[in-house]
Amino acid sequence: MATLRLGDIAPNFTAETTEGTIDFYNYLGDGWGVLFSHPADFTPVCTTELGATAKLGEEFKKRNVKVLALSVDPLGKHQEWINDINETQNTVVNFPIIADADRKVSELYDLIHPNASETFTVRSVFVIGPDHKVKLIITYPASTGRNFNELLRVIDSLQLTANYQVATPANWQSGEKVVIATSVKDEEIEAKFPKGYERVKPYLRLTPQPNL
């Protein structure tokens, strides 16, 4: 399959996981999803990443986001690894981990990059919207752990900008001012953004976050 790009429909699949057999679309329901891959079980960086994800479980839930991890190791190995994660990261893994031993899902999502490794999946993240379209793709090298607080920040931006004609500026955090989309005419701003706005330049207009 060709590499997935932003706006593409995320492929559906059925897979064995640590929480039973799931259908990806059914698992997501009408909410958002995060699918993230790991090079292998019992690896140090992955152990910290799954622990960090579990600790943020309530934050994902507040945003109507379901999380799903993947590696090419078998189910039994996943179950043993979860014990290590819970012990060393002082948490409880509260989301499914796909056992993709046949690499079916890895191939659907182009997670094996031969120039990095011919056998292990890369450290990729996909954010999937309620319309099943890919909203975000980030791929890290195996040596670099992901920033899951940044992932929450991006989800906040994606969910905000899906409902309002705004964009979020550099380093934006929820609660800060946002940029009014250039497609909004000046004469439309008062009706669309009653909290007021600051005109920095004709193309740069700031307004308080509209959903707060």
Q: Mean pLDDT throughout 124-129?
A: 95
pLDDT of residue 143: 84
pLDDT of residue 116: 45
Measuring CA to CA, how many Å separate 6 from each of 14, 22, 88, 137, 211? 22, 24, 35, 7, 25
Position 94 pLDDT exceeds 60: yes
Handedness of CA 206, 207, 210, 212 (dihedral sign): positive
For 132-143, give one letter per residue: b (16+ CB within 10 A) or e. eebbbbeebebe
pLDDT tens for each residue of 50-81: 999 999 999 999 999 999 999 888 999 999 99
pLDDT of residue 114: 46
pLDDT of residue 101: 87
Position 113 pLDDT exceeds 60: no
Residues 48 and 137 in one domain: yes
| 183 within some domain | yes
Position 2 pLDDT exceeds 80: no
| 7 within some domain | no
Contacts of 173 (CB under 8 A, 6+ apart): 153
The pTM score is 0.91
Residues 190 and 112 in one domain: no
Residues 107 and 183 in one domain: no
Residues 78 and 133 in one domain: yes
Of 145, 108, 83, which Cα lies nearest the Cα of 25? 108
Domain count, the chain: 2
Of 95, 117, 145, the domain-final residue: 145
Q: Mean pLDDT in the chain?
A: 92
Residues assigned a catalytic role: 46
| 157 within some domain | no
Show the domain range for 33.
14-145
| 158 within some domain | no
Residues 23 and 90 in one domain: yes
- pLDDT class of 120 with cuts at 50, 70, 90: low
Position 212 pLDDT exceeds 50: yes
Residues 177 and 141 in one domain: no
Going by DSSP bridges, is the β-strand pair 178-180/166-167 parallel, antiparallel, or unpaired? antiparallel
| 75 within some domain | yes
Q: H helices within 66-176, ranges in order?
A: 75-89, 104-108, 148-163
pLDDT of residue 121: 56
Residues 117 and 196 in one domain: no
Residues 133 and 184 in one domain: no
Q: ∠95-100-105 over CA atoms, to 5°?
A: 95
| 111 within some domain | yes
pLDDT of residue 72: 87
| 60 within some domain | yes
pLDDT tens for each residue of 164-192: 999 999 999 999 999 999 999 999 999 99
122 residue type, one letter: V
Residues 32 and 134 in one domain: yes
CATH number, residue 177? 3.30.1020.10
Of 98, 113, 145, the domain-final residue: 145
Residues 141 and 191 in one domain: no
pLDDT of residue 164: 97
Position 7 pLDDT exceeds 70: yes
Instruction: Quote the CA–CA distance of 114 and 61 in Å, as a whole number.
Output: 35
